[in-house]
Amino acid sequence: MDQILARDYSNYLTQNSISKEVDPICRNIDDMLARLEEFESLLNSVKENISVTTDKNLPDIGAFQKDFTELCRRIDGFERFVGIAGDHLGKMEAHMVVAEQELGYTESGIKGFLKPIFGGRPRVEQEATNLTPDETYAPPEVYSTSDFFPESSAC
């Protein structure tokens, strides 16, 4: 029985070309090994770049943090300044409108300026006024830029 089995296997191997079946598998294995080597070299390159980044760039970024924090603080201060300047501008415009109404000044240019002096329309009392109850002018409060931008802070 062993001899019959051996003869059958030998007939199978001689009739069917194993090399036709095995060669494509070997080529695929060789191709996969080549790709694996390429991937390994790429991985080594990435590891090398990561080590350069962690050794060199991270300390530089950490050193820049102080400057970045200072920049953020200055930007926040500038935003507060812009908000306050906008509020003061609104108050100044309101005083300007009241002053123009009190003077009867409605036109722009030199004609508008001279019209009330040389007989423009009669002055009409307005409810809005820049005068305090004791009839003295109260100018609007004006901010000081030195409060927001000390001379020691240079750009």
76-130: per-residue pLDDT in tens? 989 998 998 889 888 888 888 887 777 776 666 666 666 666 655 555 554 566 6
pLDDT digits (tens, 9 = 90+) for 5-40: 888 878 777 666 667 778 889 999 999 999 999 999
The domain locations on the chain are 18-142
Task: Give the residue with greater pLDDT, 112 vs 2.
Answer: 2
The model's pTM is 0.46
The more confident residue out of 36 and 143 is 36
Q: Which of 126, 133, 134, 135 is nearest to 100 (CA)?
A: 126
pLDDT for 45 equals 94
pLDDT tens, residue by residue, 92-106? 888 888 877 777 766
Return the pLDDT at 139.
76
Residue 140's pLDDT is what?
77
137: phi then psi, degrees, rounded to nearest 5: -75, 135
